[in-house]
Structure 1
Amino acid sequence: MHHFKTLAASTAIFLCASGALAQDSITVAIQLEPPNLDPTGGAAQAIDSVLYANVFEGLTRFDADGAIIRGLAQSWDISDDGLVYTFNLAAGVTFHDGTTMDAEDVKFSLDRARSEDSTNAQKALFAGITDVTVIDPLTVQVTLDQPNGNFLFNMAWGDAVIVAPESIENIASNPIGTGPFTFTDWVQGDRLELTRNDAYWGPAPALETATFRFISDPTAAFAAVMAEDVDAFVGFPAPENLPQFEADPRFQVLVGNTEGETILSTNNKMPPFDDVRVRKALAHAIDRQAIIDGAMFGYGTPIGTHFAPHNPDYVDLLANSQYDPDLSRSLLAEAGFADGFTTTLKLPPPSYARRGGEIIASQLRAVGIETEITNLEWAQWIEEVFTNKDFGLSIVSHTEPMDIGIYANPDYYFQYDNPEFQALMETLNATTDPAMRSDLLAQAQTIISEDYVNGYLFELAVATVAKAGLQGLWVNQPTAAVDLTGVSWSN
């Protein structure tokens, strides 16, 4: 689960005194800074925002439109029974430290991700792998315990990038990948710098240097863009300012979809949230549109379950949790909380959480639920909420693609434990027929909606404000990434 970043300006990449743009450099701002630089061991979206496709690559990858395309695997063969994937790797690939990337590194990466002591935030992606066999330096065979229609999709996640044993020890502070950019410097609290990899095995990017600046405050974000201190701000955190940028010929505004289901995360094992009546009361106390309008200035699509509305398999379940404070109060009384109760509401830094949290706190107060709000920095949120599960409520956007499977993991931070749902996900993973998969996904969406596991708020929109001459930035975010591989300046 992951959702946060921002950008910056590098020393070599500025406006010249004449006002001309440096044509081979970019400074990109994002709101949230990565807590570390290991996409295979950290849960924060901000890691992928900076490093996905730029520094690290996987066997497959997401294209700008969400399609699964070739990565380090140039082709693959699937056995008739769907259990064995044979990947044919690109030749001549080296890591940024000069070591060769080959089938041994793929085996190392996948075995490490699925090991018992793995700290991979999406370990479930690798759970079905029973064996990884090196056939030769450019051929690796992956065997599954059952067919998995999502396997090539899973291998495109940032959590599944290929790393090397030679450089894994320091990956959190010095990431060594195979991508078109090399990591140069990280000034924590300020910026991260990348340089074009001249030894890259694939097409060379147009940019020579790139700087990510981390600007968390919406007011500072507005000032940085208006002053042209940054060339683009991906995930611009102050949507109320977008009309001003749209009217300014210096800028372009791109508004797209993300895979970010924004939810009122609920600790299902913490009383009173272990009672479905209380969780249902929460859901009916929430006015989604008021949150979208008040926190996001209208940017966002209401959701009634943990699934992206732009996905063809989305089921509209909004009616299960329509705004009905009277019903909410009666459910609380039925559950023994006629006088309400008090719980914690721990908020990470993004604007949707901080602004949305104030609105939700007011809505919950109206039905008798008091919230003690704590604003956390991202590293604190990961530790307290995600890792230690020390929370009652939180607000976060889950930006991983097609991640409804997290509800099958009872150890996941909201601690939902439903054997029926877990069995359904096992069946889905083993199903390749598209119509059957659609039916199973509809069942899955319905179960978690009717169990009121979390408060389903809205699908996060992503707004990018960029200088008018910049081209090639992703409009939508099929995964949380600021992919610079196709970015250039127009002449």
Structure 2
Amino acid sequence: MEFLTRTGKPLPQSVLTSAENAKKDPVSRREFLAIASAFGATSATAYGMLGMAAPARAAAHANLKEGGTVRMQMEVRALKDPRTFDWSQIANFSRGWLEYLAIWENDGTFTPGLLESWEINDDATEYTLNVRKGVTWNDGTAFTAQDVARNIEGWCDKSLEGNSMAGRFATLVDEETGKAIEGAIEVVDDHTVKLTLPKSDITLIPGMADYPAAITPEGFDPDTMLENPKGTGPYLPESLEVGVKSVLVKNPDHTWWGTEVFGGPYIDRLEYIDYGTDPSAWIAAAEAEEVDAFYSMEGEYIDVMSTLDGWVENEIATAATIVIRPNQLAEVDGMKPYEDKRVRNALQLAVDNAVLLELGYAGRGLVAENHHVGPMHPEYAEVEPPKTDPEAARALMEEAGMADYEHELFSIDDAWRKDTTDAVAAQLRDAGIKVKRTILPGSTFWNDWVKYPFSSTNWNARPLGVQIWALAYRSSEAWNEFGYASPEFDALLSEALATADVEARREIMAKGEKMLQDDGVTIQPYWRSLYNHTREGLVGAAHHIGFEYHPARMAWAEE
């Protein structure tokens, strides 16, 4: 049987080989679906390659009401240029009117958004992006290939501080100019864009689906995006009060392209309400019937919510995680305490990741191995797991001349991140390593999250392990909070990004995983299962694998 892309072309042999492996290994099934759909296969084709039927989307739910309001508990954060979005919550609000070229689904596949389809050649050096016809901006002007090309050029602009999209599209960036490579982005016609890469890169479609990749109009100004909310989506911002509440309302004057494709939009109004970081306040809001859905529920509060009548628990296993990392570039009192590899290795040796999973996240997940790639990623390679040896940790600290040094370990003040970081501090103390814990409110902690000398940070899931490495561990990237700069690791990553065959990429990843472990870059202790709760009858608001919520998919079912 021949398996084809959306445009009728055969899928590469590397994808067909991955399908055979995924049939034998159910754990890698979701990741195969990501690879196949990234290469242009429809969901039905990708599932068919596994001998399975594609599941129905939530939007296909029968008997959905038109109208109504949904109230969701979620942090309400300030807007800024989407390329610098560093929290999913920001995008969940702007997604009402700023949309995406592709959408990452919970099963791992990518659904075309403002793109109708795409084609990628066998070695992933040429991308043909087919722009959806009939889409208009909400001021009535046509959405064209020029809009797509302009946004991709903007993603490649390294001069914009905090632009993490430049990391996702690094293959298209000219190292000398810090801009898109001249001639690499070609507008073929009004509905076709061609990308010509200097080397293979399999991650561009997943990158287009990530939350900082919102498509903005010509002349976009982040300072006026509330007053002038030009976009292609079906909603408009009514209000935004940081830390309190933000509201989206259906745009009655815009004919949304997605109605014919997905159905909807259904609800008239979506309210994001900020109850702070203490989950006990969220529970109180549920009991007072002030909310209909939760962004994400954590720890013991998952069980509490499950005792309340009228609520549905939603769970999904993911590659979301936490890192407790020393920053190799950070100075403390005129010295760089974590520049020394022995100090970083000592911190890892003192900590048992299984204990962190149990104490920090009530065991709801999988133990990880300090290299930020897991068995849910297609290119994951089995390497020796990290060892726990408090005596060896103490000896290394003494050897480094740091036996009497007091480490200050920072974290946010919420439940699971605080609890996990507390458990790290306790194990370090048990190993004879001095630790001072500093706990900060979110409003303070996130201002300079990449700069703390020693702190914990949560990371969202990404479809591919190489995506995470490119964002977090490549030298000088905007989100590299580790201060890690290794030319050898960068070279391995470049090779992995350019290798379409999963088995070949896995061999490269094994070297990189071992390198991150040996260099003591981070304590990355576990992978999280994610939970949220929604009121009975609410459709389209279950927990997303990447913490995304799509207003146009939310609806109340007929009783």
Which structure dedicates a bigger proportion of its chain to helix?
2
Distance 1:220 1:247, change over 3 A: closer
Residue in 2 that maps onto 1:111: 153
Residue in 1 that maps onto 2:201: 148
* 1:24 lines up with 2:65 in the alignment: no
Look up the SS of the partner of 1:461 in the other structure: strand
1:200-239 superposed Cα distances (whole Å, 9 cap, x missing partner): 11122222211111222222111112222100112124x2
* 1:296 lines up with 2:349 in the alignment: no
Tell me which amino acid in the other structure corresponds to 2:409. L
Distance 1:64 1:51, change over 3 A: farther
**C-alpha RMSD of matched pairs (Å):** 2.5
Distance 1:260 1:82, change over 3 A: closer
Tell me which amino acid in the other structure corresponds to 1:351. A
Distance 1:363 1:470, change over 3 A: same
Residue in 1 that maps onto 2:408: 344
CA distance in 2, matches of 1:435, 1:487: 39
Residue in 2 that maps onto 1:135: 188
Alpha-carbon shift at residue 294 of structure 1 (Å): 2.8
CA distance in 1, matches of 2:436, 2:199: 46
- If the length of structure 2 is used for normalisation, what is the TM-score? 0.76
Moved more, 211-220 or 33-42: 33-42
Tell me which amino acid in the other structure corresponds to 1:199. T
* 1:193 lines up with 2:257 in the alignment: no
Distance 1:485 1:350, change over 3 A: farther
* 1:161 lines up with 2:209 in the alignment: no
* 1:415 lines up with 2:483 in the alignment: yes
Q: Work out whether residues 295 and 543 of structure 2, in 8 Å CA contact, stay in contact via their aligned partners in 1.
A: no
Q: Work out whether residues 77 and 243 of structure 2, in 8 Å CA contact, stay in contact via their aligned partners in 1.
A: no
CA distance in 2, matches of 1:82, 1:357: 40
Partner residue of 1:368 out of 432, 441, 455: 432
Residue in 2 that maps onto 1:480: 547
The correspondence of residues 446-461 of structure 1 with structure 2, limited to 5 A, is 446-461=514-529
Alpha-carbon shift at residue 23 of structure 1 (Å): 6.0
Distance 1:364 1:106, change over 3 A: same
Tell me which amino acid in the other structure corresponds to 2:193. V
Tell me which amino acid in the other structure corresponds to 1:208. D
Residue in 1 that maps onto 2:231: 177
Alpha-carbon shift at residue 472 of structure 1 (Å): 2.7
Look up the SS of the partner of 2:553 in the other structure: coil
Tell me which amino acid in the other structure corresponds to 2:71. T
Distance 1:365 1:96, change over 3 A: farther
CA distance in 2, matches of 1:302, 1:123: 31
Tell me which amino acid in the other structure corresponds to 1:67. T
The correspondence of residues 3-18 of structure 1 with structure 2, limited to 5 A, is none
Distance 1:82 1:234, change over 3 A: closer
Distance 1:415 1:182, change over 3 A: same
Moved more, 450-459 or 267-276: 267-276
Look up the SS of the partner of 2:385 in the other structure: helix
- If the length of structure 1 is used for normalisation, what is the TM-score? 0.86
CA distance in 2, matches of 1:337, 1:80: 52
Partner residue of 1:217 out of 257, 278, 283: 278
Residue in 1 that maps onto 2:20: none
Tell me which amino acid in the other structure corresponds to 1:41. T
* 1:276 lines up with 2:276 in the alignment: no
Look up the SS of the partner of 1:128 in the other structure: helix
Moved more, 74-83 or 84-93: 74-83
Partner residue of 1:287 out of 352, 358, 365: 352
- After TM superposition, which residue ranges in structure 1, 4 or more long, deviate above 6 angstroms? none
Q: Work out whether residues 303 and 318 of structure 1, in 8 Å CA contact, stay in contact via their aligned partners in 2.
A: no
Residue in 2 that maps onto 1:314: 380
Look up the SS of the partner of 1:76 in the other structure: strand
Identity %, equivalent residues: 26
Look up the SS of the partner of 2:216 in the other structure: coil
CA distance in 1, matches of 2:403, 2:413: 33
Partner residue of 1:61 out of 103, 106, 110: 103
CA distance in 1, matches of 2:87, 2:317: 19
Distance 1:137 1:377, change over 3 A: farther
Residue in 1 that maps onto 2:22: none
Alpha-carbon shift at residue 467 of structure 1 (Å): 1.3
Which structure dedicates a bigger proportion of its chain to strand?
1
Residue in 2 that maps onto 1:126: 169
Unmatched tracts of structure 2, length 5 or more: 1-64, 173-180, 331-335
Residue in 2 that maps onto 1:3: none
Q: Work out whether residues 123 and 500 of structure 2, in 8 Å CA contact, stay in contact via their aligned partners in 1.
A: no
Distance 1:310 1:350, change over 3 A: farther
Q: Work out whether residues 416 and 453 of structure 1, in 8 Å CA contact, stay in contact via their aligned partners in 2.
A: yes
